[in-house]
């Protein structure tokens, strides 16, 4: 067993199979333990013209099929939205409106190492490219997912490309822009241990 990593990464820490840094399992290999690395997953929907939210359990948060199943079960006036932050590395957003599904992955390079990110790219019909610059953050998917809720695609692209922001901060900004910021914040605070 390798050295355990905590919130502060020590020099040389994290080599080996059980590095304590979920999602960084092996060189170039996707990690199938995404659920253990999920920071949080929040389900948002509108009811009686007001946002509602709940945190999702870990067992469904790291699996795209499970996330879609949960989203489809919740009726909503504006479509159901799921926001997932993974290992302070990337986020996934999905929106189900009836049978219509939209997906957003904040960084395509995450698909090289994370199963959830790879599943999103598969749904989008994209493949991670070996030529992708690991230092460049490129989002993929429906950047206009939140346009009718008040956040245009250009804003989403700029947010995803901001190297100073962590995924949870990006998702908080999205929630703020669509009018669900305070509720989202409360749910995340109650969910994150």
CA distance 58 to 149: 27
Phi/psi at 95 (5° precision): -140, 130
Position 174 in a domain: yes
Q: Among positive and negative, which fits the CA dihedral 57, 59, 63, 65?
A: negative
Average pLDDT over the chain, rounded to an integer: 82
Where does 71-157 show beta strands of DSSP type E?
80-86, 90-97, 100-105, 140-141
Position 5 in a domain: no
Q: What does pTM read for this prediction?
A: 0.80
Compare 34 and 102 and report the one with higher pLDDT: 102
Position 187 in a domain: yes
Residue whose token pair is 């929040």 = 42
Model pLDDT for residues 122-150, shown as the tens digit of each residue = 999 998 766 556 667 899 999 999 999 99
* DSSP-derived pairing of the beta strands 80-86 and 100-105: unpaired
CB atoms within 10 A of CB 75: 10
Mean pLDDT of 100-127: 94
CA distance 115 to 119: 6
Q: Which domain holds residue 168?
A: 34-191
Position 8 in a domain: no
CA distance 1 to 56: 30
Q: How confident is the model at residue 102 (pLDDT cuts 50, 70, 90)?
A: very high
What DSSP line would sit under 40-86, residue for residue?
Answer: EEEEEEEETTEEEEEE--HHHHT-HHHHHHHHHHS--SS-EEEEEEE
How would you list the strands of the sheet with 140-141, edge to edge?
50-55, 38-47, 80-86, 90-97, 100-105, 140-141
Contact between residue 127 and residue 121 where contact means Cβ atoms under 8 Å apart: yes
* Strand, helix or coil for residue 104: strand
Q: How confident is the model at residue 162 (pLDDT cuts 50, 70, 90)?
A: very high
Position 56 in a domain: yes
Position 181 in a domain: yes
User: What's residue 136's pLDDT?
Assistant: 77
Mean pLDDT of 144-159: 96
Q: For the chain, how many structural domains are there in total? A: 1
Contact between residue 114 and residue 90 where contact means Cβ atoms under 8 Å apart: yes
Position 9 in a domain: no
Q: How confident is the model at residue 99 (pLDDT cuts 50, 70, 90)?
A: confident
Q: Which residues contact 132 (CB under 8 A, 6 or more apart)?
A: 108, 109, 112, 138
């Amino acid at each position: 067993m390798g050295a355990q990593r905590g919130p502060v990464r020590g020099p040389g820490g994290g080599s080996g199979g059980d590095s304590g840094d979920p999602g960084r399992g092996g060189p170039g290999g996707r990690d199938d333990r995404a659920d253990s690395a999920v920071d949080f997953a929040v389900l948002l929907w509108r009811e009686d013209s007001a946002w509602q939210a709940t945190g999702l359990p870990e067992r469904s948060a790291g699996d795209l099929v499970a996330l879609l199943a949960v989203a489809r079960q919740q009726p909503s006036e504006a479509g159901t939205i799921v926001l997932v932050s993974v290992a302070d590395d990337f986020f996934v957003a999905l929106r189900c409106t009836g049978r219509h599904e939209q997906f957003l992955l904040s960084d395509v390079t995450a698909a090289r190492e994370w199963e959830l990110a790879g599943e999103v790219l598969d749904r989008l019909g994209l493949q991670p490219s070996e030529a992708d610059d690991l230092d460049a953050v490129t989002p993929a998917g429906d950047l206009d997912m939140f346009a009718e809720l008040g956040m245009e695609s250009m804003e989403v692209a700029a947010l995803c490309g901001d190297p100073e922001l962590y995924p949870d901060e990006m998702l908080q900004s999205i929630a703020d822009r669509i009018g669900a910021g305070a509720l989202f914040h409360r749910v995340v605070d109650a969910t994150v241990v």
